[in-house]
Chains A and B, each alone.
Chain A
Amino acid sequence: MSWNKVAVVGAGLIKMGELFDQSYEQMAAGAYGAAMSSVDKGRPEIDAAIVATQRGSLWGQEGIGGNTVPSALGLSGIPCTRVENACPSGSDAFRIGAMVVASGVHDVVLVIGVEKMRDKSTQEGLLARAAAGHPLYNRGETAPVLFAPFATRHMHEFGTTPEMLASVAVKNHHNGCLDPYAHFRNEITVEQVLSSPMVCSPLRLLDCCPQTDGAAAVILTSADRAHEFTDKPVYVAGFGVATDHPYLHEKSTYVGLPATTLASRRAYDMAGVGPDDIDMAEVHDCFTITEILDIEDLGFVEKGKGGPASLEGETALDGRIPVNPSGGLLAKGHPIGATGLAQITECFWQLREEAGERQVAIRNGVALQHNVGGRGSGVSVVNILTRNR
């Protein structure tokens, strides 16, 4: 039996991209407005908010905290807390928001993710992590270094090929063309991926997600009150979080991410479903190899078969298990704190069959959302949503 104590009654996001013309606060207001206007009936009064922002430092504006966002939304005064849990910050904020509502302390909770990736230059922003962490055992560890060793080993053990990796980027760019909110809305070919510059072998430029500014928001209330706001609520069926060691040399395997496996097992148990029940999934495809690891670790395909499954279209919009119909992080973008909530929004639309051209077939009424990240991919969050009460 699904948990189903909490429902999503509204969800929305802003068009992702390099939003040099929008402030952090303006992006937040855009996502909040989109979520509020998506509510079918009435206008919910927000009792509390949780904001997910992973990188708390912008130019001269250190520590984006729990008080920044309510002020920007005209909600100053409400309780608000910032959640940071690496790349799953948004999905973890969602999970915490659901627990807050379920606790009965707050009735209507706004969970909002906002991230500025481009206000700092690439060198001072994303790439600067090469110098962060342990002076020896993390030195040189830019974001692709967290995943590329898994690609090397996956290729070594299972014969996964660069073409298989590329097929993930090709599929997600295709889906992105059908998503008006996606950062990239252009088709690419396997040949283009394979001829793009090497970023961190064996990952090339088009194996990597872009740096994207963005914001997304959802409105949660108790399952009992959901019909006050919509006739088509989407329920929180279950969730799971798991951690793993933070250093890359502490991994028990380099062909999978155990945090994902553990988090999904907890979420499946809580939701009372299994991988075969999932109609569609929004998973963490920061790099092409990550999606291949994800679909194996989440149980959609057998370990080692993620490459061929991707190449053969099993994860396409009309495939056996559609993965990342929104375009994923690779095409829609990865504004870190907003990413999980943008994925939840896509699941919300898909389960309500409002996704337009990229709508997938909903058979069981169950969708899965997943992030993994942090040092050594040491934290993963899985949320399972359902339209079945």
Chain B
Amino acid sequence: MTSTLRPVGVVGVGAAAPNLRLSQSEVSRAWSAGGGRGVLAVCDADEDTLTLGWQAARRALDAAGVESGAVSGLWWGTTKPPFAEGPSHAFLAGALDLPSDIDGALCAGSPHAGMEALLSAWDALAAGHAEVALVVASDALVPGLGTAGEAATGAGASAVVLVALPGDSNGAGPPAQLVTRASRTMAVVDRTRGDDDPGTGDVYDPRLFREEVYLPLVAAAAEALGAQERWSLSDPDGKLASAAAKRLGGTLVSVGAHGAVGDAGAAAALLGAAGALGAPGSLGVIGYGGGRVTAVAVDVRRPVPGADDVGAALSGGQAVGYVGALKARGQLRPQTDPIPMGVPPGGAAFVRGNAEMLALEGARCAACGTISTPPSIHPHCINCGSTDLEVVRLARRGRVHTFVVNQTMPPPFQAPLPLVVLDLDDGARLMVQGISADAGALAVGDEVTLVLRRYALERGIPVYGYKAVRVDGGGGTAESASAGAGAEAASTR
């Protein structure tokens, strides 16, 4: 039987971390506990597991040189998708501009979900049901306040692009290949969140979990996999992986990612391995969650495209205190009722407009070339009035034409909020929000890139769209210096 299965290669990898960084010591101090020298990545108010997954997927596809239209399936693993029940998979696929006939699955329910997504994609490719698979593992769990897990829970995402290989392939082959796998399951209760719980809680004593659950399961799966030169292990409390690695032998490569973002849950094992895909050798990837462990052996022959960018993707971030982190995660809110969105997500306007918002579409005029955005509210060109319009994907890069930073808004808005008028590289002009981290540095002429962010969590429903993020260095001074007649000419369409 196995002889009919196709081998599967890894051709691209990407990683993403959210904007905020919280010191573990801030969490400990809040609860008058000691210890904690690490750093936890925390989602800003406009980030969640979907936006992190989107960013990692975009980077993996770009690194692999794979167009969105060539992807035949999306497998996404996240402990808690943005809709507890709902169109999470469809929204991520839409934002990535994947074809409407894609295959795939959303794996959720525990931090093991990332490995489940990887295995499912592998199976589909091996069986011949898909040719190019996008695997996304992301998490941004909301830890229960005062739980042991709170001082360990981080956030992050990783994505890999997998391709099916011809069964008789020789020659160069893919940069890396999935080799073998092993899983172990044990019906235990460790970290859980009930329907009515606001965050994830711990049930077991940490020592009980370590000795009776994590270490035996990881050891059993790793033994089944066989010896590896390097290991990436998911690490629910920050000390478990090194304890396990001592028993396994080999190098623990996931310490870098863990140190940068904390426990990234369903993303942890793949994210810990992402950078190591840049160096040849054997690599064991072991993910734990919900009483399940899955280990996958990867044979890295050449650096996987994108692996070298993983470190940069996880570095940086904006320091935030405990109160700021709680506000960003929605765990601390004003008692005032938030101002409701004028166009409710349940209304027809979202059925008409969601796809064009997720894919960032405009309407290009065949007569004069002007792009009117978005198409659904522009039956006529804004410049010449023509109705000969073609829907196009807007460019994802541009420059700041003008901007403001809004400091005065009612809840649920959080100041400072930049609002930026952009000249995109394709000639379109667009006003979108900026990100809070850029509020102090924006300047006319700055180069920006557009990223998916959560514009609102409206009556429990996430609303996604693109925001402008300043590209490092900005570049605003160059145009500032050439202000005057040239700038005025540029301002007139």
Contacts and interface: CB of A to CB of B under 8 A. Distances in A.
A142 B405 CA distance: 11
B402 A127 contact: no
A134 B404 CA distance: 18
A245 B336 CA distance: 34
A349 interface: no
B350 A149 contact: no
A94 to B, nearest CB: 29
Interface in B339-378: 339-343, 345, 349-350, 353, 357, 372-374, 377
A139 interface: yes
Interface residues of B, number: 52
A248 B421 contact: yes
A157 interface: yes
B431 A247 contact: yes
Interface string B99-138: 0000000000000000000000000000000000000000
Interface of A: 122-124, 127-128, 130-137, 139-142, 144-145, 148-150, 152-153, 156-157, 197-203, 245, 247-255
B463 interface: yes
A248 B373 CA distance: 11
A178 B25 CA distance: 59
A131 B402 contact: no
A153 B456 contact: no
B493 interface: yes
Contacts of B444: 152-153, 156
B410 A135 contact: no
Q: Is chain B's binding surface mostly helix, strand, loop or mixed?
A: mixed
Contact of B374 (A137, A200, A202, A248): A137
Contacts of A199: 407-408
B209 interface: no
B362 to A, nearest CB: 10
Interface of B: 336, 339-343, 345, 349-350, 353, 357, 372-374, 377, 382, 401-411, 413, 417, 419, 421-422, 429-433, 444, 455-456, 458, 463, 465-466, 480, 483-484, 487-488, 491-493
B342 A140 contact: no
Nearest to A204: B407
B244 to A, nearest CB: 45
Q: Nearest 3 CB-CB pairs, A to B?
A: A132-B342, A136-B465, A249-B431
Contacts of B480: 156
A199 B349 CA distance: 31
A228 to B, nearest CB: 48
Contacts of A136: 357, 432, 455, 463, 465-466
A245 to B, nearest CB: 5
A133 B483 CA distance: 33
A192 to B, nearest CB: 18
Nearest to B343: A135
B456 A149 contact: no
Nearest to B409: A130
B456 A137 contact: no
A296 to B, nearest CB: 13
Contact of A153 (B401, B410, B430): B401
Given A200-B408, A248-B421, A135 B350 contact: yes
A38 to B, nearest CB: 38
Given A137-B432, A141-B419, A153-B401, A127 B408 contact: yes
